[in-house]
Every structure is written in C-alpha cells, then in structure tokens.
C-alpha cells in the first residue's frame, strides 16, 4: 500500500510502519502538505486545486491515484483536510476531511466532519482512513 497525506502529516504511514512485518506490504508514503508538493510529487492538477481547493473530493481522489501511480503499491489512501485550530471557513470548517482511496483500479472518496482539537481530527482521520481502506481491500475479489 501507499499513502498520500496532507493534514495528517505522515501519521497514517507511521501507524502502518509501527507494525512488525509492515515491510511486506507497505511500499511508501507521500507527505504532501503544500499545494505545490501535491502537484510536484503526485501530479495533482494545480488547476483542480485552484478551482476546488486543496480540501476537496477532486484533490483527495487525485492524491490517491497519484500515490499508486508513483509507487509499486496496489492500494492507496489519501487524506486532505482542515485539522485546525485555524484555516477553516464557512464551506470547510475545522474538522472537514476528505479521504480518497484507490483499490482494484477504482477510485472512491469519503467526506467527514470530525470533532475535537487538531490532534483529535488527525487521529480520527487516521482511524477512518485505515478502517475504510482495509474494508475496501477485503471486499476485492481475489
């Protein structure tokens, strides 16, 4: 698997690599905190970021696709959001998180609104991202 992370800053990758034996299934993680890094490392279209914002379904899906495209993984999870305490807006308040997934050649995404402080939003994003990715991988035909 591969990860593409913005607001979690590598916490998903760290959670994976905390597990002994993860080198058997974890390929790499991209921490793409800035908009420029999303474009440079994952080839997320800068115009998509400009028109939809970094915290959007379009960007989350593009990040998930980019993580697969630039790795040897077969599944990916991406996260982009507003962890706070600042940076929120009326449209995207603090706690707004988009997760993107690429499994079995299919892209999917989820929007979440997590409560709590910065750490709580980041931890909830990690839990939800990994839980959903695992469910998608388990549902894949073998």
Q: What's residue 107's pLDDT?
A: 98
Q: At what angle do helices 57-69 and 35-42 cross, to 10 degrees?
A: 40
Q: What's residue 141's pLDDT?
A: 87
CA distance 53 to 132: 23
Q: Are 62 and 35 in contact (CB under 8 A)?
A: no
Regarding the domain delimited by 2-139, which CATH topology (the fold level of the hierarchy) does it fall under? Maf protein (3.90.950)
pTM for this entry: 0.97
Q: What's residue 142's pLDDT?
A: 79
The arrangement of strands across the sheet holding 2-5 comes to 28-31, 2-5, 75-81, 96-103, 106-113
Please list the ranges in the chain whose pLDDT falls under 70: none
CA distance 13 to 135: 18
Domain ranges of the chain: 2-139
């Amino acid at each position: 698997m591969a990860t593409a992370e913005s607001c979690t800053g590598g916490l998903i990758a760290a959670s994976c690599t905390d597990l002994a034996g993860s080198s058997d299934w974890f390929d790499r993680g991209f921490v793409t905190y800035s908009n420029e890094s999303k474009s440079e490392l994952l080839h997320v279209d800068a115009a998509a970021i400009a028109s939809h914002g970094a915290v959007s379904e379009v960007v989350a899906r593009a990040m998930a696709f980019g993580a697969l495209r630039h790795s040897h993984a077969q599944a990916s999870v991406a996260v982009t959001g507003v962890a706070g305490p600042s940076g929120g807006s009326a449209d995207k308040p603090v706690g707004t998180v988009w997760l993107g997934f690429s499994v079995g050649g299919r892209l999917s995404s989820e929007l979440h609104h997590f409560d709590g402080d910065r750490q709580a939003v980041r931890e909830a994003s990690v839990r939800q991202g990994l839980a959903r990715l695992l469910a998608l991988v388990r549902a894949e035909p073998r």
